Structure 1
Amino acid sequence: MAATPLLRTDGFTVHPATHARFDDVRTMVGPKNPTSSVCWCLSHRIPAKDNRELAGPARGAYVEALTRRRTKPGVLAYDGDEVVGWAAVAPRSELPFARSTKIPYVDDQDAWSVWCIRVRPGHRGRGISHVLLVGAVAYARQQGAPVVEGYPVDNQGARVDLTMAYVGTRKLFEDAGFRLAAPTGATSAGFPRVVMRRTA
């Protein structure tokens, strides 16, 4: 499974979520109970109706199929050989965001979206979210993306509930070279969300 990483920094590496790494994807986004109809990072990847109808093990099978595609569904961060983080990244045109009435289009460029950043419990507070975001940009660039955008909360330093923190914060995106592109009509954890953008 050894391969040249997308990114190597601060003792971490970031790799695309290939099929060979599917067990690590499962570790990061799969539910503890494989029959549960939750997570797998599908709520913003597929239409809401499909997400509701995709149940139990079929959810994991769907994500496994995504890892077999030429364009992978996200990136994974590692501390040595241990997976410690996940970031979902894909062309916005392939996601429900393309039809969102709350997340505006900035322009006609073929933007890629980063919408879920997860760090494994026990590894938080080490800068892994930043590593994941930079790695996601590196992957989008490798795939030819002209720009990358995210939709984090503009929490102005206030604490964000961990269950909703997966969208990221404005500061996290600013620290990775993103700039405010537009307000949105969306909120998360009681905070307004914004469109943050950077060239890939």
Structure 2
Amino acid sequence: MSFNIKSLSPETWPAYAGLIERHGGVWGGCWCMEFHSDGKERGPHRKERKECRVRDGTAHAALVFDRDRCVGWCQFGSPEELPRIKHKRAYELAVEGRPDWRITCFFVDKEYRGKGVSSAALAGALTQIASLGGGTVESYPEDVEGRTVSASFLHNSRLAMFEHQGFTRVAQLGKNHWVVSRVVAAKA
């Protein structure tokens, strides 16, 4: 399939919100807030908080479109924007220094899973990061080789996808998760 990638912005907010609303708020009403500093706070206010972050420019994502319909995303941001990560204790013991950018989650419309949306979203996020000055990009995917894992639970996607797009393993987090990293050159 051929997809278009757009940045999350006030203009693309309605399409992004539409995808989330079609899926009940995504992961029980997350609204892709979990990795933000106020991500622990549950409740109906999450949609409003996410929209405020988008308007303020403190929420980033590469949105994947099939024509005019948003069908997935890859969220990224600075460690200051996205300070909450899974396996944080293990991460802090295993990794020295902090990246310029973090990729913290993906979501794909259930009708589009298995069609390359996550790969397109990751490539789009890397392009956007290059336009924002580039730097070291880090993420925390899951190694699913030899295991059956539901795509709906792979919030940070698959290790193989990241390696295919030039990321290398930095440290293992828990049994199946990895810190992966790649340097992205700035694009003028």
With structure 1 as the length reference, what TM-score do the two structures score?
A: 0.79
* 1:82 aligned residue: 69
| CA distance in structure 1 between the aligned counterparts of 2:113 and 2:121, rounded to whole angstroms | 12
- Equivalent of 1:22, from 13, 24, 28? 13
- Equivalent of 2:51, from 64, 80, 95? 64
Structure 1 gap ranges (5+): 1-9, 186-190
- Give, in angstroms, the shift of residue 39 of structure 1: 1.4
- Equivalent of 2:123, from 110, 121, 134? 134
* 1:118 aligned residue: 107
Does 1:192 pair with 2:186?
no
Q: Which AA in structure 2 matches 1:197?
A: S
With structure 2 as the length reference, what TM-score do the two structures score?
A: 0.84
User: Against the structure 1 CA distance between its residues 157 and 66, is the aligned structure 2 distance closer, same or farther, given a 3 Å change threshold?
Assistant: farther
- Give, in angstroms, the shift of residue 108 of structure 1: 3.0
| CA distance in structure 2 between the aligned counterparts of 1:77 and 1:132, rounded to whole angstroms | 6
Q: For this pair of structures, how many residues does the alignment match? A: 181
Name which of structure 1's ranges 129-138 and 65-74 shifts more when overlaid on structure 2: 65-74
Aligned CA-pair RMSD: 2.5
Structure 2 gap ranges (5+): none
1:24-70 deviations in Å (ceiling 9; x for gaps): 22123347567x97210112223xxx4343421x1111010111123
Does 1:151 pair with 2:151?
no
| CA distance in structure 2 between the aligned counterparts of 1:112 and 1:196, rounded to whole angstroms | 12
Q: Which AA in structure 1 matches 2:156?
A: V
